[in-house]
Amino acid sequence: MARRSAGMTVLVVGLVLAGLLSACRSPAGSATGTAGPTATPATTTEPTSQPGPIPTVGSTPTPAAVSPTPTTGAQQADLSVYFLRGEYLAATRRKIPRTPRVGTAALDALLAGPTADEQSIGFSSAIPPGTRLLGLTIENGVATVDLSGQFAAGGGSFSMKARVAQVVFTLTQFPSVQGVQFRLDGQPVEALGGEGLLLDRPVGRDDFEELLPAILVESPAPFAIVSSPLRLWGSANTFEATFIVRLTDASGTVVLEQPVMATSGSGTRGSFDVTLDLAVERAGPGTLTVYEDSARDGSPVNVVDIPVILQR
């Protein structure tokens, strides 16, 4: 009888201890205690989205995504790169392997220079050969680009301003970049060149309006394959915001000719983004021409010819 009583005592004590242990645990069996620190999201040093229609001078960039083009075993991103054509900036396009470092990829493409085909139609770069990208960070809408000292070599005031503009336009195609600061070999730059192009603050597209042609076509790029419908976009500063677009095939037959209106003109640069229906009868080389009718005598002025490949 004493042995049975002792067993009952052990059982009761065990049940009490089990209850106490259960009360010391939080719901779902998790041990109580102070929560650990909340993870802080990492800060990216690259643009977080692909560029869409390029923001015009004086406009607020609008975020837009470009769908990647599928390729065999990989994806590609379509980026704009800015060179010179004569004394004005001109846009072309580059397809690069899909990467989260799109800003770096765009600058690498810029530093590589225009292709042989682009050079054949007058494209050039004011950026000295051998210039290397040492770093790129983006914070609060400002991209800080670190280039090798070769970037400052040679050239007069036009060359200095043009090479800076090429970098600025290439980076500000991304919605996360509104201005660009420069470093050379890791050191901040306050002025560039013997005549002292001031770079002591972030510079943007508005600082280089004089380097833009009256009609800047962002797309289609030279030697692009075009078919119906054709999307044409860019920026313009023409009389009453109007200009003409004409598309001809290799025989000179006019495939399309019609006026296009930008959002502003007559001294203020505006944007245009139109979709045009084509009636291509002969596939092969063609020419996209944009121009303005002279207000004085109606003759074509501010003419830009872009070679393209027509597809039916």
pLDDT at residue number 50: 53
Per-residue pLDDT for 85 more than 70? yes
Mean pLDDT of the chain, nearest integer: 83
As annotated, the residues of the chain forming the CATH 2.60.40.2550 domain(s) are: 215-310
Pairing of strands 242-249, 284-293: antiparallel
Task: Assign residue 274 a region (left: φ > 0; alpha: ψ between -120 and 50; beta: otherwise).
Answer: beta
pLDDT at residue number 49: 52
Is CATH 3.40.640.10 the classification given to domain 215-310? no
Choose the weakest-confidence range: 71-85, 118-132, 149-163, 230-244. 71-85
pTM (predicted TM-score): 0.78
pLDDT tier at 71 (50, 70, 90 boundaries)? Answer: very low
Per-residue model confidence as pLDDT tens digits over 21-47: 343 343 333 333 333 444 433 344 676
Three-state helix/strand/coil letters over 107-144: HHHHHHCCCHHHHHCCEECCCCCCCCEEEEEEECCEEE
pLDDT at residue number 7: 43
pLDDT at residue number 151: 98
End-to-end CA distance of the chain: 104
What single letter denotes the amino acid at residue 279? A
- What span, in angstroms and rounded, lies between the C-alpha atoms of 84 and 212? 10
- What span, in angstroms and rounded, lies between the C-alpha atoms of 21 and 43? 43
Q: Give the best-scoring range by mean pLDDT among 16-20, 65-69, 127-131.
A: 127-131
| Cα torsion angle, 258, 262, 263, 265, sign | negative
Per-residue model confidence as pLDDT tens digits over 88-147: 999 999 999 989 999 999 999 999 999 999 999 999 999 999 999 999 999 999 999 999
Per-residue pLDDT for 11 more than 50? no
pLDDT tier at 194 (50, 70, 90 boundaries)? Answer: confident
pLDDT tier at 48 (50, 70, 90 boundaries)? Answer: low
- What span, in angstroms and rounded, lies between the C-alpha atoms of 92 and 113? 11
Better pLDDT: 25 or 242: 242
Q: Judge contact between 297 and 271, C-beta under 8 A.
A: no
pLDDT at residue number 205: 96
- What span, in angstroms and rounded, lies between the C-alpha atoms of 118 and 83? 10
